Amino acid sequence: MLNFKDKVVYQIYPKSFYDTNGDGWGDLNGVTAKLDYLKELGIDYIWLTPFFVSPQRDNGYDIADYRAVDERFGTMADFENLTKEAEVRGIGVMLDMVFNHTSTEHQWFKRALAGEKEFQDYYKFVDGEPDSPPTNWVSKFGGNAWEYVPSLGKWYLHLFDVTQADLNWENPKVRKELKDVVLFWKSKGVSGFRFDVINLISKPDTLEDDSQGDGRRFYTDGPRVHEYLKELVADTGIEDMITVGEMSSTSIDNCIKYSNPDEKELAMTFSFHHLKVDYKDGDKWSLMPYDKISFKKLFKDWQEQMTAKNGWNALFLTNHDQPRIISRFGNEDKYWKESGKLFGGLIHLMRGTPYVYQGEEIGMLNTHFTDINQYKDVESLNYYNILLEQGKSSTEALDIINQRSRDNCRTPMQWDSSDNDGFSTGNPWIQVPKFGKAITVESQVDDEDSILAFYKKLIALRKDYEIISNGDVSFDLEVPEQVVSFKRSLDGQELLVYGNLGEDDIEISLESDLSKGKLLISNYGENKVNLASSLILRPYELLVVII
Ligand code: GLC
Ligand code: CA
């Protein structure tokens, strides 16, 4: 297996990236048009979220045809051109394979509904009575996870929206179909794949109610998931490609298995525990300030334990399902720049492969929408209603959605000062947020002190310093509660990273003799830091010393 230690991936949500034909939707040609920008940023791969034929109930994660480009994104020729142009610039293309479920608009599901037994076996259909779903499992988007089909007298499972029917991986024909999809895109010259919620594909043989939770413990990292992944990888020959699995509510032990090269499963894994530290009692829709101690502890555990057993982490703080990190754990106003750089720095200096989500590199913020009708995401809209049913006022419910909605990261990329921040000359499918300052590529591209310049530098550092891409990692430096710190080490060299997660100045005592060290990067201007044995970290200050 190849490794991807010194690589950086840039995630593109094409619908919101750049619209070239003025229909309000970003498109594949829009990605091609911005490749020079991405090359300049220094990234190695782009991961495109789904642009396949889809009713767009879940923005393309509900696929109706795995092998065709949705015409709103362009054509197959546009895709081939994008791949070719990316390759010319040394950028590989990764595609998003949504294999846990299909849209109910997919041919397979339609044929199942039409009564074809063969296709009913493609999904999780269970005989039953209209009033009693097979289990009490809860859909990740709210409500029971089973839907009744009166004409068949059967229920089908949907762990996500009712229009996203779970596939039956126990059926070898399904596994064969999905392998063929991978082979199809591989033959188009793509460089790798991201596998959507891939640790949910293996369901238990016996279905039972969950008396303790929403059912996830039965199908998360399910009984045959490793076997299925090994088979998928071996039969499609993608072992040496860059692959990343999105792992929902997973465990470190399973992620070691998914990503240890000896297992021949995936190159790396996304996990989410560190992004649940502001969920009160584990509930995404219950607000709480983020718990810095858990945040630090989760990084420590995942970094150290994955490393000890040769697992590999995909590193990220934001993606198309998460709020913007500055709005979430940083400060949008007073410390916008400092906090944006701090969080970027932490991710890029850890052990693993960093992912940059579009707009993160310029410090984009949450939607700040004032009306629920501005939201588009199915999950946000479902939960808004659920919150109202639970007795919240519309103001309270909107406040929760404002903080937790997946649309926070799905608003258009902010390019320049023209209409719609340069995203589209038409009517964007979702509004461009209007909030305080102009946050655009144009306003940062020539500014050496910008968040954008800082990301360029971080990406370049990974290529220049093997200690960053390949060094060991430990989190045992003694620091105050609001400070996160870790040490990287390689061949007698050490890299010390300290970050102030808070907004108070805080004194830290540094490890041994830092005066021999060199400041590698700083979010407070490099010459302002004096490397003594104890020093004050300012709000959101990131200190990186190499010795
Ligand atoms: C993943 C995707 C998310 C999608 C879900 C169902 O979590 O990232 O956007 O809604 O899977 O496919
Ligand atoms: Ca368009």
Average pLDDT of the residues in 108-124: 98
pLDDT(533) > 90: no
- Which of 96, 250, 321, 409, when mutated, tests ligand 1's pocket best, judged by the most ligand atoms within 8 Å of its CB? 321
At 65, which amino acid appears?
A: D
pLDDT, position 525: 80
pLDDT, position 244: 98
468 CA to middle of ligand 1, Å? Answer: 30
pLDDT(534) > 80: no
Q: Report the pocket of ligand 1 as residue ranges, CB < 6 Å.
A: 58, 61, 98, 160, 196-197, 246, 320-321
Domain ranges of the chain: 9-100+171-368+413-458, 107-165, 369-404, 471-546
Give catalytic residues, as residue numbers: 196, 246
**Which residue is closest in CA terms to ligand 1's atom 6?**
61
- Judging by DSSP bridges, how do beta strands 353-357 and 9-12 pair with one another? parallel
pLDDT, position 528: 62
Contacts of 339 (CB under 8 A, 6+ apart): 326, 329, 330, 331, 540
Provide the pLDDT confidence category of residue 527 given band limits of 50, 70 and 90: low
pLDDT, position 434: 83
Average pLDDT of the residues in 377-397: 97
Provide the pLDDT confidence category of residue 272 given band limits of 50, 70 and 90: very high
| Ligand with smallest separation from the Cα of 101 | 1
pLDDT, position 84: 98
pLDDT, position 318: 97
| Ligand with smallest separation from the Cα of 14 | 2
- The domain 107-165 is placed in CATH, from the list 3.40.50.620, 3.90.400.10, 3.10.580.10, 3.40.50.1100, at 3.90.400.10
**Which residue is closest in CA terms to ligand 1's atom 7?**
197
423 CA to middle of ligand 2, Å? Answer: 10
Alpha-carbon distance 520 to 345, whole Å?
11
Domain 9-100+171-368+413-458 top-level CATH class: alpha beta
26 CA to middle of ligand 2, Å? Answer: 5
Q: Which residues pair with 167 in a beta bridge?
A: 123
pLDDT, position 510: 77
pLDDT, position 530: 67
11-58 residue pLDDT tens: 999 999 999 999 999 999 999 999 999 999 999 999 999 999 999 999
| Ligand with smallest separation from the Cα of 198 | 1
| Ligand with smallest separation from the Cα of 249 | 1
Average pLDDT of the residues in 311-337: 98
**Which residue is closest in CA terms to ligand 1's atom 12?**
61
pLDDT(1) > 70: no
pLDDT(356) > 80: yes
pLDDT(312) > 70: yes
73 CA to middle of ligand 2, Å? Answer: 6
**Which residue is closest in CA terms to ligand 1's atom 5?**
61
Average pLDDT of the residues in 198-210: 97
Q: What is the pTM of this model?
A: 0.97
| Average pLDDT value over all residues in the chain | 96
Alpha-carbon distance 135 to 273, whole Å?
26
**Which residue is closest in CA terms to ligand 1's atom 2?**
196
Contacts of 76 (CB under 8 A, 6+ apart): 68, 69
232-252 residue pLDDT tens: 999 999 999 999 999 999 999
pLDDT, position 511: 67
Atom of ligand 1 nearest to the CA of 101: 12
121-154 residue pLDDT tens: 999 999 999 999 999 999 999 999 999 999 999 9
414-464 residue pLDDT tens: 999 999 999 999 999 999 998 777 899 999 999 999 999 999 999 999 999
pLDDT, position 477: 83
At 194, which amino acid appears?
A: R
Integer CA distances (angstroms), 225 to 101, 255, 456, 498, in order: 15, 12, 37, 38
Atom of ligand 1 nearest to the CA of 100: 12
195 CA to middle of ligand 1, Å? Answer: 10
pLDDT(270) > 90: yes
The Cβ of residue 418 has, within 10 Å, a number of other Cβ atoms equal to: 12
- Judging by DSSP bridges, how do beta strands 45-48 and 9-12 pair with one another? parallel
> What CATH number has the domain spanning 471-546?
2.60.40.1180
Tokens at residue 370, please? 């004032």
- Find out whether 145 and 158 touch, Cβ atoms under 8 Å: yes
Atom of ligand 1 nearest to the CA of 321: 9
Residue 45, SS3 per DSSP: strand
pLDDT(531) > 90: no
319 CA to middle of ligand 1, Å? Answer: 11
